[in-house]
Amino acid sequence: MRNRTKLLLLFVLVIISVLLYGFYDIKGGFDYAFPRRMIKVAAMVITGIAISYSTVVFQTVTHNRILTPSVMGLGSMYEVVQTVIYFFAGSMSIWIVNKYLNFGAAITAMVVFALLLYRFLFRADKHPIYLLLLIGMIIGTLLGSLVTFLQVLIDPVEYLGLQSLLFASFTKVKAELLYIAFGILLIAFIYGYFIMKKLDVMSLGRENAINLGINYDRMVMNILILSSVLIATSTALVGPITFFGLIVANLSYQFFVTYKHSVIILGASLFSIVALVGGQFLVEHVLELRTTISVIINFVGGIYFIYLLLNESRAAK
Amino acid sequence: MIEIKGLTKQYGKKPVVEDVSVTIEPGMITSFIGPNGAGKSTLLSMVSRLLDADTGEVLLDKNDVKKWKSTEFAKRVSILRQANYINVRLTVRELVAFGRYPYSKGRLTAEDNRFIDQAIEYMNLKDMEDKFLDELSGGQKQRAFIAMVIAQDTDYILLDEPLNNLDMKHSVQIMKILRKLVDELGRTVVIVLHDINFASVYSDRIVALKDGKLVKNGPTNEIINSVALREIYDMDIPIQEQDGCRICVYFNSHTTS
């Protein structure tokens, strides 16, 4: 099957799952339910694309297919920023009340974090993937503990506000952020149009890319910023989903055997929309909201993650 | 013309390359030789801007390498390093096509395809151009990478130990192709070599490094003699002539340090 056919097939699946989610069992108040469902779909589409896009470019730049921005603790950074703002400035501060300012602060912190991570972990000599993974876990735990520590000290009433900020999910999308998220994605796409071919060259490794005239170190910077901004967007919208990027990126690598980032990113995005919208459909109508989609994704993704690790260690022998 | 002027690179306090100045003569094969840790690869990396020098400069056509636009530089000078681990699945032809990136930015023209075909032909890869790289042997893979560099169509081709991990047959094949590139197409090849005899038989000029310093620089026949080699390798190496080639018989040599 050619890649174009495969993409078309996935696109049809996307349409089917969106229609199914939009119209299934829509009793009585169509005018009430339908727009609400579509807001969720919009959030899922934006999240799905943002996570796929950021994961694939992050993996190209760091030359691995197992670590993702979320696994390295980038998602937790969002919680840290929000908690720190609540702790020091309180819920009435401009940094919380003004959604744009809040978003900007979160993005800035995540970009800085991503650049530091790259500077100390990926740029220097090649560390074994297990060491990187271990460091990622430790960073994640450290940030998690820091967040918990601060949260315990916060006034309980304030904490409720913080909680609603952190525990976003697809069932409780922050619709007011949809416009910013959409705008960011649009900019990311326009930028992506110019760098797709460069990304293809960068997957040959630093030395080959420089040889072919890529301004490598600057590109890495730009792409890490892009990746952090996209992860920040999706986290702000629906909260952190650790293993999701890993699943869709690897599915796409396996399904489309190609070096072309345009195909891989598009494929991963379509996979993720099908998984999110279809998954949310199952959660709402089959499981009747007894669990959330993030739980399912992290469960399935965790298993897949272990499978990939085992595969990697076998290949390394 | 590439001029290297007073290049120095330190890792921590240890200088790896110290005040090296060399001019690369066009239309020739220049070999960088020397013991392990002499700084050959580091020097080559700095010439090809993979690595920034601490002090000193590299000039291409009288202009500092750092001031060249990176795509323009990529049309003049190509570099191939020894470790080429790629984690995407590429066919030989796709890899070679990357060599045209500085010209076409990924949208191949008919002219690009002509260069790609020529490079594949040149490296005898025609019958395996649609095979994936991970299906090839070490020697075939190395040839595919060299084909990419040939498709890049640069005046200067820099190669860092291209014979590593290759058997005798493939090593000879590759050196003969480099010779052809110089003699037939007028390219300039700079190559880091471990095996002194390949340097002796195939190169026009030799640059010898030791502990990061330049110790010898000249035409091959001035370097391949026991006196010069003792200075470079701390070994007494007898030399034998065979069909006009000087062969260093170093296997039983007394080592002085």
Tell whether A125 lies on the interface with B, counting CB pairs under 8 A: no
Residue that has been written with the tokens 């972990």 in this structure: A121
State the residue range of the domain holding B214: 2-248
pLDDT of residue A127: 67
pLDDT of residue A292: 75
What average pLDDT score do residues B25-47 get? 90
ipTM above 0.95, yes or no: no
Residue B104 resides in a domain: yes
Residue type, B209: L
Residue B253 resides in a domain: no
pLDDT of residue A200: 92
Least confident span in B90-104, B114-128, B184-198, B243-257: B243-257
- Whether B87 sits inside 8 A of A203 (CB atoms) is yes
Q: What percent of chain A has pLDDT over 90?
A: 20
pLDDT of residue B116: 93
What residue in B sits closest to A259 (Cα-Cα)?
Answer: B88
Residue B256's pLDDT band, with cuts at 50, 70 and 90, is low
Residue B27 resides in a domain: yes
Tell whether B70 lies on the interface with A, counting CB pairs under 8 A: yes
- Whether B88 sits inside 8 A of A210 (CB atoms) is no
Q: How far is B242 from chain A (nearest CA, A)?
A: 38
State the average pLDDT for chain A.
Answer: 84
Q: How far is B218 from chain A (nearest CA, A)?
A: 28
- Whether B81 sits inside 8 A of A207 (CB atoms) is yes
Number of independent structural domains in chain B: 1
pLDDT of residue A190: 93
Q: Where are the alpha helices (DSSP H) in chain A?
A: 3-23, 30-62, 74-89, 94-97, 99-117, 129-153, 156-166, 178-202, 206-211, 216-238, 244-255, 261-281, 293-316
Tell whether B42 lies on the interface with A, counting CB pairs under 8 A: no
Position A316 pLDDT exceeds 60:
no
Residue A90's pLDDT band, with cuts at 50, 70 and 90, is confident
- Whether A207 sits inside 8 A of B50 (CB atoms) is yes
pLDDT of residue A111: 83
Residue A129's pLDDT band, with cuts at 50, 70 and 90, is low
Position A288 pLDDT exceeds 70:
yes
Residue type, B230: R
Q: For B128, how many CA atoms within 13 A lie in the half-sphere containing its CB?
A: 19
Model confidence pLDDT, tens digit, residues B157-212: 999 998 887 888 888 988 999 999 999 989 999 999 988 999 999 999 999 999 88
CA atoms of A206 and A215, how far apart (whole Å):
10
What average pLDDT score do residues A224-246 get? 84
Residue B10 resides in a domain: yes
Position A309 pLDDT exceeds 90:
no
Position A317 pLDDT exceeds 60:
no
Q: What are the backbone angles phi and psi of residue A176, rounded to the nearest 5°?
A: -70, -20
What average pLDDT score do residues A33-42 get? 85
- Whether A205 sits inside 8 A of B98 (CB atoms) is no
C-beta neighbour count of B61 within 10 angstroms: 10
Residue A37's pLDDT band, with cuts at 50, 70 and 90, is confident
Position A124 pLDDT exceeds 60:
no
Give B107's contacts in chain A (Cβ within 8 Å).
Answer: 197
pLDDT of residue B102: 92
Of A64, A65, A215, the CB nearest to B70: A215
Residue B192 resides in a domain: yes
State the average pLDDT for chain B.
Answer: 88
Residues 84-103 of B with CB under 8 A from A: 84-90, 94-95, 98-99, 101-102
Q: How far is B105 from chain A (nearest CA, A)?
A: 7
Q: CB–CB of A64/A58 below 8 Å?
A: no
How many interface pairs between A and B have CB atoms less than 8 angstroms apart?
Answer: 66
Can you list the domains of chain A with their CATH numbers? 3-316 (1.10.3470.10)
Tell whether B63 lies on the interface with A, counting CB pairs under 8 A: no
Residue type, A133: L
CATH number of the domain that residue B233 is part of = 3.40.50.300
Nearest to A236 by CA among A178, A190, A158: A178
- Whether B152 sits inside 8 A of A64 (CB atoms) is no
**DSSP character at residue B160:** E
- Answer yes or no: pTM beyond 0.80: yes
CA atoms of A155 and A170, how far apart (whole Å):
27
What average pLDDT score do residues A51-67 get? 88
Position A167 pLDDT exceeds 80:
no
Mutation test of the interface with chain B: which of A211, A252, A311, choosing the one with the most B Cβ atoms within 10 A? A211
- Beta strands B55-60 and B205-210, pairing class: unpaired
Residue B257 resides in a domain: no
Cβ-proximal residues to B40 (8 Å cutoff; 6+ apart), any chain: B32, B33, B34, B192, B209
What average pLDDT score do residues A107-128 get? 76
Residue A163's pLDDT band, with cuts at 50, 70 and 90, is confident
Residue B238 resides in a domain: yes
- Whether B84 sits inside 8 A of A205 (CB atoms) is yes
Question: What is the phi-psi region of residue B4: left when phi exceeds 0, alpha when psi lies from -120 to 50, beta otherwise?
Answer: beta
Tell whether B240 lies on the interface with A, counting CB pairs under 8 A: no
Residue B255 resides in a domain: no
Of B49, B84, B87, the CB nearest to A210: B49
Task: Tell which wins on pLDDT, A315 or A206.
Answer: A206
pLDDT of residue A257: 83
pLDDT of residue B206: 92
- Whether A212 sits inside 8 A of B74 (CB atoms) is yes
Position A35 pLDDT exceeds 60:
yes
